Copies of this chain bind each other. A is one copy, B any other.
């Protein structure tokens, strides 16, 4: 089984990844932010039991990590992999993570809600991500009574998640829409349709490297299938527009287009110091070059790998110690060179 980022999913020229997550809370327990230590332990135990007890496949393929025992570096590495949210890094609760070996399926325990079930897939694969989440949800429901109300649906810590408690999202790479400025129109349209657009690392993050994350805002009054359908519809429209603009930009000035792509590629292959922001911008150019068949010697999945690898947390994990931002910029440059050279030869 392959991690999502080294798989090549459908429509991967524009859609980097699809994600579905469900929020669930136990009936008869307060929400995590006001639980007692004992209640936190009970939730952890009950969840582990529901997943692992007598289920040989789950026992083999899933592992449990005690988040409270991880240091800040290790937690940030999980944020960068989109497995936990960055708000949870400083969480004082006793929290845990149940993760599949391919890192696609995760269940966070005692985060903002008692449970967050998430499935991450490569490319445009919202349906399959939803099916996976649904299967895990059903498995858990065999043992656990979730807090549910006829009119409000699943009860969640934050009222914006009430109802289906589902969040469907797509990470899109939109360099041509950004270059031409048409991204503004897209963002306005999304707002009107109740779709939130964020940067690479969720709320309050910028769209570094031309990465935009679309997700539903409404969770109440619509069923899961309808929510997924509406996100899929708008995503397909954006894919179409992005593709047309890429071709147009290329046709308008082939040399200028290639110059930008190859210069970024040249810098990534040669730099000795590079910060995250510059790196993500240059990777965006290279990704575009690979998608358009201009750069043929590297694979799109390598760019996914590099994107995960170059984040501060991931780098510190590689270095196996806390390192200064200056050291990070040097190690980052070195890792990128190794990765790109390995790809070519």
Interface residues in A41-72 (C-beta closer than 8 Å to B): none
Per-residue CB proximity of A258-272 to B under 8 Å, as 1/0?
110011011111111
What distance in Å separates the Cβ of A149 from its nearest Cβ neighbour in chain B? 59
Chain A interface, number of residues (Cβ within 8 angstroms): 17
A256 part of interface (Cβ distance < 8 Å)? yes
A147 part of interface (Cβ distance < 8 Å)? no
Residue of B nearest to A326 (CB): B255
A333 contacts across to B, CB distance below 8 A: 259
**Measured CA separation A333–B273 after assembly (Å):** 25
Give this chain's copy count.
2
What distance in Å separates the Cβ of A225 from its nearest Cβ neighbour in chain B? 47
Q: Is A265 in contact with B259, judged by CB distance below 8 angstroms?
A: no
Per-residue CB proximity of A273-299 to B under 8 Å, as 1/0?
100000000000000000000000000
A263 contacts across to B, CB distance below 8 A: 266-267, 270-271
**Measured CA separation A271–B259 after assembly (Å):** 5
A189 part of interface (Cβ distance < 8 Å)? no
A268 contacts across to B, CB distance below 8 A: 266
Q: Is the interface of A mostly helix, strand, loop or mixed?
A: helix
What distance in Å separates the Cβ of A262 from its nearest Cβ neighbour in chain B? 4
Contact of A271 among B266, B271, B272, B330 (CB under 8 A): B266
Per-residue CB proximity of A306-337 to B under 8 Å, as 1/0?
00000000000000000000000010010000
A330 contacts across to B, CB distance below 8 A: 255
**Measured CA separation A270–B266 after assembly (Å):** 6
A271 contacts across to B, CB distance below 8 A: 259, 262-263, 266
Contact of A273 among B259, B267, B272 (CB under 8 A): B259
Contact of A265 among B255, B256, B262, B270 (CB under 8 A): B270
What distance in Å separates the Cβ of A250 from its nearest Cβ neighbour in chain B? 12
Residue of B nearest to A330 (CB): B255
What distance in Å separates the Cβ of A305 from its nearest Cβ neighbour in chain B? 21
What distance in Å separates the Cβ of A180 from its nearest Cβ neighbour in chain B? 20
**Measured CA separation A181–B259 after assembly (Å):** 32
Residue of B nearest to A265 (CB): B270
A269 contacts across to B, CB distance below 8 A: 266, 270
Contact of A266 among B256, B258, B259, B266 (CB under 8 A): B266
Pull 12 A–B residue pairs with CB atoms less than 8 Å apart, ordered by A: A255-B272, A259-B271, A259-B333, A262-B271, A262-B272, A263-B266, A265-B270, A266-B266, A266-B267, A266-B268, A266-B269, A269-B270
10 A-B pairs closest in CB distance: A266-B270, A266-B266, A259-B272, A262-B270, A259-B273, A258-B272, A255-B272, A255-B330, A255-B273, A266-B267
